[in-house]
Amino acid sequence: MGEYRPNEIEKKWQDIWDKKGTFYASDDTEKPKFYALIEFPYPSGLGLHVGHPRPYTALDVVSRKRRMEGYNVLYPMGWDAFGLPTENYAIKNKIHPAIVTERNIRKFKEQLKSLGLSFDWSREINTTDPEYYKWTQWIFLKMYQKGLAYKKEASINWCPDCKVGLSNEEVVGGACERCGTEVSRKVKNQWMLKITEYADRLVEDLKDLDYLDKIKAQQINWIGKSEGMEIDFELSTGDKLRVYTTRPDTLYGVSYMVISPEHSIIDKLKNQIENMDEIEEYKEYASKKSDFERTELAKTKTGVEIKGIKAINPVSKEEIPVWISDYVLVSYGTGAVMSVPGHDTRDWEFAKKFDLPIIEVVKGGNIEEEAYTDTNTGIIVNSELINGLEVKEAKEKISKYLEENGIGKKKTNYKLRDWVFSRQRYWGEPIPMVHCDSCGWVPVPEEELPVVLPEVESYEPSDDGESPLSKIDNWVNTECPNCKKAAKRETDTMPQWAGSSWYFLRYIDPNNDKEFANRDKLDYWMPVDWYNGGMEHTTLHLLYSRFWYKFLYDLDLVPGKEPYNKRTSHGMILGENNEKMSKSRGNVVNPDEVVEEFGADTLRLYEMFIGDFEKSVSWSENGVKGCRRFLERVWKLQDILVEGNEYSKELESNFHKTIKKVSQDYENMKYNTGIASLMTLLNDINSNGKLNKEEFKTFLILLNPVSPHITEELWEIAGFEGYLNETTWPIWDEEKTIDDIIEMAVQVNGKVRGIIEISKEASKEEANEKALSNDKVKSFIEGKNIVKEIYVPGRIYNIVVK
């Protein structure tokens, strides 16, 4: 027996799999299909870190198992390659983003192949390939034709140094995450996608999906559907301020109002506002914060009272002050809120800070100490029209009153906003629209797609915040497809989310130049059976891709109303110091180094064995070494291999139990406990002192999805027929997983007094003998008469004494 040399073994088998196309999916519709999907990575210059292989290996385990169970498996890979990081790198280093992207993809692909992942590389896609983004543009045009894509003035976070608009996630502490420059708010004419039109369906259709509960909750909370009322508060100027509330029953508790710093009524009433300078100063202060920072619950409350203006409570008729504060967003609801500090924590903290009245309107709690928020039920107080009513009844009565008096109307509201789809950047898909002074916005004809991203000398945005594309006159200046007059191309590009919203469909038919995918192939492969990714993408990416799919379903271009049957998520791998891995913390682990020193099979085994797949775990080099030692023990099984074509009596039960455990645990993402059962079986084998060929086959098959290279090599060395990956997954016999010797409870007068080990087929006499010899049981029957014995074989033995 030679020494275990993973570097030689792993390269050998990776080359064999590549040459044979071992993991290429076929379009053989006679076989049951299994479509496994992981989020395709952004190919950064840093390459893979050890967090990447965790989800990739997890679904690789399931995919390898399913192939051996007779499934036609599609497990594809591609690249989400447009985006700001590459553009920033290109600007800094004067290298074209396409060159940077190509180099990064080459590095990523080498790393992934070194891990032995069973991806179907024949279906590889790249969002920056014009033959791919042609269909991204095509889908956008279909949305435009259906009224789902439109232009609108929208506020963005503006970085004056980078000269780009930033997403909320790219603003930290009021500054640009990349350069640290203070951001401001800027209004730009942006392309929008009307995702709100699908809000109800995006919530309702979750109920039939196999998603983790926490993922469903994230989707529902982000959409934020609520049933309430829009209510008009009259102002002392004669104008009206409209609010949205789900709690009209608390109207008598409104002691002040708050509007967004961007609310239009401020400009309308600026001549009546007595402290306009103070208001303008606060507006400037608020403009430097992202929406996330403004609505963070734990933040310090800030605001300014608008002097010279009062609001009238529509039911109590009392005058109340109007404030502006940054925690109210103009993009949500009406941009104005009625504040009920007695029963809302944020309102209570605001009222306490600025010494505003706090009124109890739902009985219970102590509003002097804190807001009483347990108000879904309860009795209404201090509310003339609805005093003494229970909350539900009070809501109905006050709502009817408001509608009858023209003060309010019922309204369904959503936190979800339409999707801002424009980016003033170079490295993205061109938006296939042309603006003509005569015709307005005109779609590029479908036969002219793709609108290809042109070469540019500079990727720097212009000082006015326009895309670098705006500087290329010979690309911008074009002809109107309608009237043939001079026109200009749209110079904004699509966000990175665009290409990732439908990529799973292109894997099905990646080389089709006539349509985004053939319908017969879509009918066979869709929906995705199992989609795994990080929790950070289970809100927006998942929402956006479900929205795009539903739109295509409405056009009868895809089967079924949902793209993914099952969505799971994985925990992060932290550094050995239990902190998130980062270069600044010096705790990043390079998977290349682990593969070089210990082998890819060890890395795969460790990442599946490290802990609960759904939870974050800390890296441990000692753990890696332990997994390598396990594989070396597996390698040494050759030393005790004997002939035999069926399980031996000594190990038969152990094997059936392990087959069941491993099979179920792989499917339920309990990889760590499945591997632990293999480790236990290995101990049992070594204790037995020998292992026959049938048992060796089964052991190698069970371990193969996790550590495929060593198991293929051992299969070949043992002289087994064909390749391991072409064999059949073992099946357990349920009867043989049940232990003959069991633990059984012994009761005395109905109470458990001891536990005995006994054969499940033991006679009553044997049970009696075992029970009476148990010291604990004896102590409860000594000096007493046994009047009755109740024995249920394999379950319980009850002794009745007096």
Q: How much is the pLDDT for 170?
A: 67
Rounded to the nearest 5°, which phi and psi values hold at 293? Answer: -65, -35
Neighbours of 198 (CB within 10 A): 21
pLDDT in tens, 554-572: 999 999 999 999 999 998 8
Other CB atoms within a 10 A radius of the CB of residue 405 amount to 10
The amino acid that residue 286 corresponds to is A
Mutual orientation of helices 671-688 and 600-609 as an angle, nearest 10°? 110
Lookup: tokens for 570: 């994985």
- Supply the pLDDT for residue 297: 60
pLDDT, tens only, 276-327: 999 999 998 887 776 666 776 656 889 999 999 999 999 999 999 999 999 8
Q: Which of 203, 215, 219 is nearest to 535 (CA)?
A: 215
Phi-psi region of 560 (alpha: psi -120 to 50; beta: other; left: phi over 0): left
- As a three-state string, the secondary structure of 319-370 is EEEEEECCCCCCCCCCCEEEECCCCCHHHHHHHHHHCCCCCCCECCCCCCCC
CA dist., res. 381 & res. 363, Å (int): 6
Could you tell me what percentage of the chain is helix, strand and coil, using 3-state DSSP and rounding each to the nearest 5?
40, 20, 40
Relative to beta strand 336-339, strand 256-259 is antiparallel
Distance CA 650, CA 640 (A): 15
- Which helix (H) or strand (E) segment holds residue 791: the answer is strand 786-792
Q: Residue 537's pLDDT is what?
A: 83
Name the strand (E) or helix (H) holding 745: strand 741-748
Three-class secondary structure of residue 43 per DSSP? coil
Strands 210-211, 256-259: pairing is: unpaired
CA distances from 63 to 60, 224, 421, 674 (A): 5, 36, 35, 16
Q: What is the pLDDT of residue 129?
A: 97
Residues 6+ apart with CB under 8 A from 324: 258, 259, 260, 261, 263, 266, 279, 282, 283, 303, 304, 306
**What are 190's two structure tokens?**
């942006």
CA–CA dist 347, 365 (Å, integer): 16
Contact between 789 and 764 (Cβ < 8 Å): yes
Q: Give residue 534's pLDDT.
A: 84
Cβ-count burial of 455 within 10 angstroms (0-12 exposed, 13-18 middle, 19+ buried)? exposed
Q: How far apart are CA 302 and CA 359, in angstroms?
A: 21
Q: Which positions of the chain have pLDDT values less than 50?
A: none
